């Protein structure tokens, strides 16, 4: 194939927004995605027409201006997360669940109307077919005098500029570089927290939202578990409760997790839970194209947005992007958009210096 000017590794939100921004300047980037489909850590299940269950990135806030601007540009709406005025709270195992009042929320959270994958679909639809290559697991990147050679498990690609949107830990653990990446970069990247990496997202679908009765709530906060927090995840197309399970349960089977979650919900809601329609979960630590185990303990957001991720590599022609590298709101969808715009600007600057185009 002919050599593209810019090659992007990863077709999650950051990679697709990078291609979107480059297209505005007339640059057609090629995107390599390891999974069979684009989306990355955005994963929306479609159990029924117009129904959506988020197993990945879900919420945004008013402070996420980069993402909100993108949604407006794509003509995608947002919906306020329903919290209600009360929540169930489980302080300890020896105490029954308590229904407590929630204080007024001056800073609400929002979900993307119709499902978070609406963003992915809108961006993919703006690509030409030859731009997106799925099932392409990058294994090696080498630089020579005339650009980069990128090896995957099934093909070889060449480019003037390479943009990686992989989580830094995944990047340094899964791809061999020639010449090698700097030692300081390797040290920081290998201890950079991968957002959602330890998360277990769970959802239970029902035919009726029984938790919306005056003496109930779809909001749960628990010190007992296994679910630590849960929210009303309903829409006009269906009803569900969705939240997070304690990450310690990643080692048990999905069927075991299902039993434990339903047991907890029975403790809170009673026998109505047995009328559930379906159970879903994703243990993100099992996703090898997102997460790699740390050699030493890390804390949430550790090294996210570290200045080293904005420093030039390979003469500025290898650019780091992805939510963990963002200067603002790293680890969130907004950070993915922020990093994508920075990466696109950096790549255009390289091409501008090379041939004077893209002003």
pLDDT tens-place values along the chain, 359 residues long: 556 799 999 999 999 999 999 999 999 999 999 999 999 999 999 988 778 999 999 999 999 999 999 999 999 999 999 888 899 999 998 889 999 999 888 789 999 999 999 999 999 999 999 999 999 999 999 998 889 999 999 999 999 999 999 999 999 999 999 999 999 999 999 999 999 999 999 999 999 999 999 899 999 999 999 999 999 999 878 899 999 999 999 999 999 999 999 999 999 999 999 999 999 999 999 999 999 999 999 999 999 999 999 998 999 999 999 999 999 999 999 999 999 999 999 999 999 886 545 44
- Residue 213 has phi, psi (to 5 degrees) of -70, 155
What are the residues whose beta carbons fall under 8 Å from the beta carbon of 122, sequence distance 6 or more?
Answer: 74, 76
Cite the residue boundaries of each domain of the chain with CATH code 3.90.660.10.
53-113+198-286
| Eight-state DSSP code of residue 238 | B
Architecture of domain 53-113+198-286: Alpha-Beta Complex (3.90)
pLDDT at 2: 59
Helix (H, G, I), strand (E, B) or coil at 133: strand
Q: Right CATH number for 1-42+116-194+292-359 from 3.50.50.60, 3.40.50.261, 3.30.470.20, 3.40.50.300?
A: 3.50.50.60
What are the residues whose beta carbons fall under 8 Å from the beta carbon of 159, sequence distance 6 or more?
Answer: 3, 4, 5, 6, 7, 30, 147, 148, 150
Per the listing, tokens 């080293």 go with 308
Cite the residue boundaries of each domain of the chain with CATH code 3.50.50.60.
1-42+116-194+292-359
Provide the token pair at 210.
């029984």
Distances from the Cα of 265 to the Cα of 44, 90, 213, 337, angstroms? 23, 11, 16, 36
Beta strands 200-206; 239-245: pairing state: antiparallel
pLDDT at 359: 46
Beta strands 138-144; 176-178: pairing state: parallel
| Eight-state DSSP code of residue 104 | P
């Amino acid at each position: 194939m002919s050599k593209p000017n810019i090659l992007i590794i990863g077709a999650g939100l950051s990679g697709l927004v990078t291609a979107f921004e480059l297209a505005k300047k007339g640059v057609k980037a090629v995107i390599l995605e390891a999974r069979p489909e684009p989306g990355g850590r955005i994963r929306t299940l479609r159990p029924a027409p117009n129904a959506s269950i988020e197993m990945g990135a879900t919420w945004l806030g008013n402070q996420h201006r980069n993402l909100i601007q993108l949604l407006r540009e794509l003509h995608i709406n947002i919906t306020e997360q329903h919290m209600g005025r009360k929540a169930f709270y489980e302080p300890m195992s020896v105490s029954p669940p308590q229904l407590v009042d929630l204080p007024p929320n001056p800073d609400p959270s929002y979900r993307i109307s119709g499902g978070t994958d609406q963003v992915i679909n809108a961006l993919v639809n703006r690509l030409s077919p030859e731009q997106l290559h799925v099932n392409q697991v990058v294994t090696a990147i080498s630089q020579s005098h005339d650009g980069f050679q990128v090896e995957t498990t099934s093909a070889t690609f060449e480019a003037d500029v390479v943009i990686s949107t992989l989580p830094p830990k995944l990047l340094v653990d899964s791809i061999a570089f020639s010449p090698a990446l700097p030692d300081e970069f390797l040290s920081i990247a290998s201890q950079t927290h991968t957002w959602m990496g330890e998360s277990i997202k769970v959802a239970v679908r029902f035919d009726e939202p029984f938790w919306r009765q005056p003496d109930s709530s779809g909001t749960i906060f628990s010190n007992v578990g296994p679910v630590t927090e849960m929210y009303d995840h309903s829409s006009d197309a269906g009803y569900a409760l969705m939240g997070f399970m304690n990450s310690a349960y990643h080692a048990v089977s999905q069927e075991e997790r299902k039993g434990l979650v339903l047991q907890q919900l029975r403790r809170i809601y009673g026998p109505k839970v047995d009328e559930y329609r379906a159970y879903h979960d994703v243990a993100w630590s099992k996703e090898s194209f997102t997460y790699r185990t740390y050699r030493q303990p890390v804390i949430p957001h550790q090294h996210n947005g570290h200045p080293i991720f904005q420093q030039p590599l390979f003469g500025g022609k290898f650019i780091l992007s992805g939510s963990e590298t963002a200067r603002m709101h790293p680890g969130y969808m907004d950070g993915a958009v922020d990093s994508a715009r920075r990466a696109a600007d950096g790549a255009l600057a390289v091409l501008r210096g090379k041939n004077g185009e893209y002003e």
